[in-house]
Structure 1
Amino acid sequence: MNKSEWIALGALVVSLFSAFLSALSYLVSRSAHNISKQQHKERYKGIVLYLVDAFKWSSEEDFYISFALRFTNEATISNSLQNIELHLEYYDRNKHCGKAKISPSLEVKPINLAEASEMLKIPLEMNSKSAKSGWISFKLPNLFYKDLEIDLYKIVATTTDGRIIAVETHIVNIV
């Protein structure tokens, strides 16, 4: 082999080594990119809402509905709830349907349960990977309790990042 063949062989070895290093670098960067995408997904997961229990009750002339709720922040960053509402779907005696929104009565504690569990406060701040549970009550106008039949109870919460989470039920116990 002459000198030019040795130079060509050396260039071939260097180019193959360079191709091997670039393929290895690609695999490492792709793995790092996949890890980064997974961390990003976990960072911005939302809050999950669970309905634990619900019941209607009365106090003197007022009628209330109370919900035991559990909020779970599945994200790796903190988040909070800025608003909670009760959305009702109802019908009257003539079977006309309607919808209503009711704000929570945060100062009202559910009857016989005030000492057993925590009351939820709005805004509800949640740390990363944490859960909070407690009761929230809504005062029902007398019209709903006497003249209208409520078909669907839907708790709707809005997070600070604008996401809306909801849970609904058709069945509520009466105490």
Structure 2
Amino acid sequence: MDPYVHTSPTDLYANLPLYGRCRPEPGHFHVKTEHVGSQSSDCESVIGLYDESIRIYPAGESGRDVFAPGNVIVKSSHPHDTQEIACSFADANEVDTISIAKNVPGNVRLIQKYSQISLIRGRQVLIQERSSGVALCVAWPYLSQSQKQSFKDQARVILRQLHAIKPDNSW
């Protein structure tokens, strides 16, 4: 069963159609090259895209909502009046993790961070690429036993490669 086409009655994410499912379309929002890593006021236009229809994860206490406008993920607390928690260390950790994982040989595709630690209207915003496909948490119930075993075998190989990466002096 294809989780893009059919939704199983037991699908835990059936009520969140944007969660874990991304099929890029030509008209979807995308980050312009000149805005990558930019702090310019032109980047504020992304705030106007926030609404309930594209929210995939609501903010907890003082946290950030997660929105999926097209082929990006935006983490922001702009829709709320409460004081946000500082997320810059968590954001920097994600960026560093991706840069470390780039050292793993093979064909594992990593997401791109467009805006690593940006402030827009005084609030932290993280903008990253949204991977096309179906998240494992969504796809798992749809997989056959042999597909699940194949995934486990592939994951073990990747984990061994990650384990073999030696830290450098910058950590």
Settle same-fold status: TM greater than 0.5. Answer: no
Q: Which has the larger radius of gyration?
A: 1
Structure number with the higher strand fraction is: 1
Q: Normalised by the size of structure 2, how large is the TM-score?
A: 0.22
Q: Normalised by the size of structure 1, how large is the TM-score?
A: 0.22
Structure number with the higher helix fraction is: 2
